[in-house]
Chain A
Amino acid sequence: MDLGGLPILSAVIFTPLIGALLIALVPREREDLTRWLALGTALVTFGLSLLLLPGFDPTAPGFQYVETADWIPAFGIQYKVGVDGMALVLVLLTTTLTWISILASFGPIRSRLKEYMISFLILEVGMIGVFLALDLFLFYIFWEMVLVPMYLIIGIWGGANRIYATLKFVLYTLVGSLLMLVAILAAAFSFQSATGSWAGAFDFEQLRGFGFDPTLQFFAFGAFFLAFAIKVPMFPFHTWLPDAHVEAPTAGSVILAGVLLKLGGYGIIRFCLPLFPDAAQQWAPLLIVLSLIAIIYGAIVAMVQPDLKKLVAYSSVSHMGFVTLGIFIFQPQGMQGAILQMVNHGIITGALFLCVGVLYERTHDRSIARMGGLAASTPVYAAIFGFFMLASLGLPGMAGFVGEFLVLLGTFDHSPIAAAVASVVVILAAGYLMWMYQRVVFGELSDFLKGVGHHLTDMDRRELVTLTPLVGLTLVLGVAPALVLDLIQMPVGEVLARVGGSLVGAAP
């Protein structure tokens, strides 16, 4: 498709920024205008991101729609963006979840709406930028750009303990990312001293083919990985997540779970593996074990959570464990499954948080023990919540299953024992999700909810509009995962070719 010379990727990245600037100009009293402007911007961005699809060739190697411009030539820093299949699906996930989140914020956010919408749109710039940046420096800038709006979103519009949560989130993330910055510079400098010029020293496509020396690889991988692992979050770096989720406003949780965690997984696949393949091989056994721990541990801890959001948060730890597991077994099905799992987890967990938000809006409570009997009083809500509960436990026919299965399949190929350990989670997930669902939705209406009285209404039209697309996506991706798999085949192949395939016999 001819886009008329439009720098489409830049358009996708910066449209939300333009929207944010426009909103900044809107008078504070015009709240509806602010809301619709934000939603409009997000929808336009979504539309623009869809425009990427028709012209995208999933069988072509490398990046497409590449845009390059010198930024700081003195250090070879470029503005360079491009997209491959993996980035494309994640960008689409981002643009989808963003407009849904903004729409979901229409009701709940009542104070400082303007700042909220601006933060959200800038957040979107950062997220999309991370997925599209092909210059390490640019990548880092977008990476950090995500941090500030999220800090504000949790800290200003969050719950009672929001300040602790948001500072924890920011500081934890900063530890990782700042060390990553050191690693980026070390890598760039290593390139510079080898080639004698800064040109291309931050260019991912140049660095990808550059063999860094083993010591540098070892440390740089560690630093990159720490940043990504904290974001994922990988056991034992996950404890910021329950706090952040519990305190964040609904839409914040949606984006946090839906996209921010994916930044970590994306970073590992995009940068850690191709740049430091030897180190990746060295680290892999440890990381596989940590992933397995995360998978089981997250599920077990989720089992006894008293708070709905905490439960979903720990389930994220478990689910994202599949992502890291799928990545580090260095096996095509596993890695495709990992990426698919990222997309699926984004949709499903995002939706689960929306569901929790719907309940919270009405009851101002998230305690599982106080709920009960919603099926009778709010049947539509119960059905949709149940749908995503089932999707989250990996029911076939819905999105979650294929990703998880592919990861397990790849793992089995690599080590049947590891696959068996990870598979235990199919039981555990059913356990904690269904137990939660039973307590919240089944049974007689709880006394607490009776006290809520007439506020306990079923979902309204706006809430349905936010959740229905996710229901559709969950089904479509469950029935036709090829939509994603076809796109990520090539990127996965490229990464694996770089890492050098499976670690035969290196694991138990």
Chain B
Amino acid sequence: MPFFTEAPETVATAGSSLDQALVLALLALPLAGFGLTALVGRRMGDKAWAIAVPAIVLVWLAALYLIFQTLVAGAYGEAGLHFRLYEWIPAGDFTVEVDFGVDALTAVMLIVVTTVGMLVHVYSIGYMAHDPGRWRFFAYLNFFMFSMLLLVLADNFLLLFVAWELVGLSSYLLIGFWYRRRSAALAAKKAFIVNRAGDFGFGLGIMAIWTTVGTLDYSDVFQLLPAQVESGAIEGWQMTGICLLLFAGAIGKSAQFPLHVWLPDAMEGPTPVSALIHAATMVNAGVYLVARANPLFAQSPEALLVVALVGTFTCVMAAAIAFTQKDIKRVLAYSTLSQLGYMFMALGVGAFVPAIFHLVTHGFFKGLLFLGSGSVIHAVHEEQDMDRMGGLWRRIGITHVTMLIGSLAIAGIPPLAGFFSKDEILGESFKLGFGWVWAIGIIVAVMTALYMFRLMGKTFYGPSNVDPHTEPRIHESPISMTGPLMLLAVPSVLIGFALGWPPESGLIHQWLAPVFHPLEEALHHGAADYQLLGIDGFLLGASVAVSAVGMVVAWRLFGFLSTMAPRPALVASLTARLNGPYRISRDKWYFDDLNHLLFVRVGGAVARALWWFDVHVIDGAVNGVASLTQGTGHGLRQIQTGRVQNYALGIAGGLLVIAVGYLFIVAR
């Protein structure tokens, strides 16, 4: 049967076959790394990384070339590089091909994915050096890279969906990496299932797209669907429905309310995983999806409003929870939720470029923060409770410095990366008429600075609360771990300026403008000039000011280096005074309890009730028919009394009945 031999339909492509081969290499290398490591990794002992890490380094190099070609050299034009591998599902009218595309958005994503990915791989060499299951770890990590790259390279919705689920799988495998720990196994399962809840909507959205326009190719869909809306072939609510269904997928993957519950639990995974998957790359997939589907969202202001609302709410809620968590990684996890909320906020108001910009900067500084937290945890011998840290800044200097850079970046202190992207989001929200979004964003900015420096204070400053047994053995991590920290610190400092200056017309704007062109057109964004001395300057000042305020408050409460001692009493009294909000925050707004009640208790009861129904009613009916049959048999056998008289009487009775019957026939 002709399968691979079939000549692919000609797709408009630019770029040489070398470029295509490189795109394929981006996928093939990690996949091969996964396969090889899975098969022979166990026998490689200490060198379990020897296949996986080089593979990703090569991927990074190839990606750099492609990024350069796309963004800088413009070798593929505005449309980007598109090509077809083979026809995947040929089912009548419904055909799905394995098509890949590299355009500006993909390239920007590649920057984050491959760079952070590569660094996390290197970091893991040291971090996982003593874990007997490290070969599995590297295999999974490579598999994740494959899935994530597939996600950004896919050129149609179904292939995207495939990658979408595969990153979910990688996440499942990596969260549950320490499967002996029940909590890890539970967290892995939870992550996958909650993601599936989002995919439920995503899948339906894809089906809706196909039944509406009969294709799933990005370019076709992005042309046909808006055209149909404009021509009135489909109504506005349908468009909104499609967008919201797609957005359901984004909610799941990017852990937005109400599907955010999996991400904090996902911290059960090894820290490099948290850095790579649950901070820098996978959780951004939702943002990527909405950005990718911008021509669709452009047709539905209602859908965008929902995006904005969800983003805003998550943003506030997560920041509020981050205040009170004791586990260092959980603070970062809620911070991630909050920052993702920022991005959705931006998407919702139509500020797509700032959203992606923030995605990039956040990818680097949050990756840095997570890896830093990993280094801290490593240093204090797998302790994650911040109440049992403190004063570490002298002992693990490199970690401290890099994490401080990350914290400043996320807090939005100029000129670090976070400042530029966050400021653009806030500024655009305000200028696009979403004052309330801006206001909330400002509040969250305060909160961000506050919880980040609470974290810094409790971890690095003040007196040491480290377990006395561990205390003498605190040590800085090996170079394979600190190296990536330092390397990540560089973009955390610089990338905001590099991409975002001058404001609203930096490199990132130049790159992404073509991608978001339809959106901007549909939303009629005015191209007002940037006024540093006008409104923009004011907004900028406001956001910097509030961040600084947050930072100062945190310093005051939790200390800074040795000069400012922490004030535990003040913290305690504040906690006592605000006991209600404190408890709500500490208990994560009771979402986990609600879910437990709904899905474990009520769901379990329903399932058991249905099982009972199955056994006793449905099967009971089946067995009942059998018993009835047997019972009737038992009853009927009683007529066989063994006595000839009774038999004769029966015969005579039968005769009588028959005779009467014939009488009726005669009478008729």
What's the minimum C-beta distance from B160 to chain A, rounded to whole angstroms? Answer: 10
B92 touches A336 (CB 8 A): yes
Q: Does A60 contact B (CB under 8 A)?
A: no
Q: Does B73 contact A (CB under 8 A)?
A: no
Report the bound CA distance from A482 to B86 in whole Å.
10
B89 touches A406 (CB 8 A): yes
Nearest CB in chain A to that of B186: its residue:
A438
Contact (A373, B180) CB under 8 Å given A239-B614, A420-B204, A482-B3: yes
What's the minimum C-beta distance from A296 to chain B, rounded to whole angstroms? Answer: 9
> How many residues belonging to B are interface residues under a CB distance threshold of 8 Å?
53
B1 touches A336 (CB 8 A): no
Category for how many chain A residues contact B: 35 or more
Binds A, one of B290-298, B320-328, B338-346, B601-609: B601-609
Q: Does A375 contact B (CB under 8 A)?
A: yes
A297 touches B193 (CB 8 A): no
What's the minimum C-beta distance from B235 to chain A, rounded to whole angstroms? Answer: 14
A409 touches B165 (CB 8 A): no
Nearest CB in chain B to that of A479: its residue:
B88
**Residues in B neighbouring A405, C-beta threshold 8 A:** 158, 203
Contact bitstring B80-101, A, C-beta under 8 A = 1, else 0: 0000001111111110000000
Q: Does A155 contact B (CB under 8 A)?
A: no
Contact bitstring B198-219, A, C-beta under 8 A = 1, else 0: 0110011001101100000000
B203 touches A485 (CB 8 A): no
Report the bound CA distance from A297 to B607 in whole Å.
9
Report the bound CA distance from A373 to B182 in whole Å.
10
Contact (A485, B91) CB under 8 Å given A300-B607, A304-B608, A396-B166: yes
Report the bound CA distance from A402 to B610 in whole Å.
29
**Residues in B neighbouring A466, C-beta threshold 8 A:** none
Contact residues of A between 51 and 93, Cβ < 8 Å to B: 53, 58
What's the minimum C-beta distance from A288 to chain B, rounded to whole angstroms? Answer: 16
Report the bound CA distance from A483 to B185 in whole Å.
36
Nearest CB in chain A to that of B159: its residue:
A396
Contact residues of B between 1 and 22, Cβ < 8 Å to A: 1, 3
Q: Does A426 contact B (CB under 8 A)?
A: yes
B193 touches A434 (CB 8 A): yes
A426 touches B200 (CB 8 A): yes
Contact (A430, B207) CB under 8 Å given A301-B607, A406-B89, A443-B185: no
A423 touches B200 (CB 8 A): yes
**Residues in B neighbouring A408, C-beta threshold 8 A:** 203, 207
A236 touches B606 (CB 8 A): no
B89 touches A332 (CB 8 A): no
Contact among B86, B179, B210 for A442, CB-based, below 8 A: B179
Contact among B86, B211, B603 for A413, CB-based, below 8 A: B211
A430 touches B193 (CB 8 A): yes
Nearest CB in chain A to that of B599: its residue:
A431
**Residues in A neighbouring B172, C-beta threshold 8 A:** 434
What's the minimum C-beta distance from B261 to chain A, rounded to whole angstroms? Answer: 14
**Residues in B neighbouring A332, C-beta threshold 8 A:** 91-94
What's the minimum C-beta distance from B614 to chain A, rounded to whole angstroms? Answer: 5
Report the bound CA distance from A413 to B207 in whole Å.
8
Q: Does A48 contact B (CB under 8 A)?
A: no
Q: Does A424 contact B (CB under 8 A)?
A: yes
What's the minimum C-beta distance from A502 to chain B, rounded to whole angstroms? Answer: 11
B89 touches A402 (CB 8 A): yes
Contact bitstring A158-170, B, C-beta under 8 A = 1, else 0: 0000000000100
Contact residues of B between 158 and 206, Cβ < 8 Å to A: 158, 161-162, 165-166, 169, 172, 176, 179-180, 182, 184-186, 188-189, 192-193, 196-197, 199-200, 203-204
B176 touches A430 (CB 8 A): no
Report the bound CA distance from A376 to B192 in whole Å.
22
What's the minimum C-beta distance from A442 to chain B, rounded to whole angstroms? Answer: 4
Contact residues of A between 409 and 457, Cβ < 8 Å to B: 409, 412-413, 416, 419-420, 423-424, 426-427, 430-431, 434-435, 438, 441-444
Contact among A397, A431, A442 for B180, CB-based, below 8 A: A442
Q: What would 5 A/B residue contacts be, using CB atoms closer than 8 Å?
A: A53-B1, A297-B610, A401-B162, A431-B193, A438-B188
Beyond the given A239-B622, A412-B211, A485-B90, please list 9 additional residue pairs across the A-B interface where CB-CB is below 8 A.
A333-B91, A412-B207, A423-B200, A426-B200, A427-B197, A434-B192, A443-B182, A443-B185, A483-B3
Residues of chain B whose beta carbon lies under 8 Å from any beta carbon of chain A: 1, 3, 86-94, 158, 161-162, 165-166, 169, 172, 176, 179-180, 182, 184-186, 188-189, 192-193, 196-197, 199-200, 203-204, 207-208, 210-211, 603-604, 606-608, 610-611, 614-615, 618-619, 621-622, 626
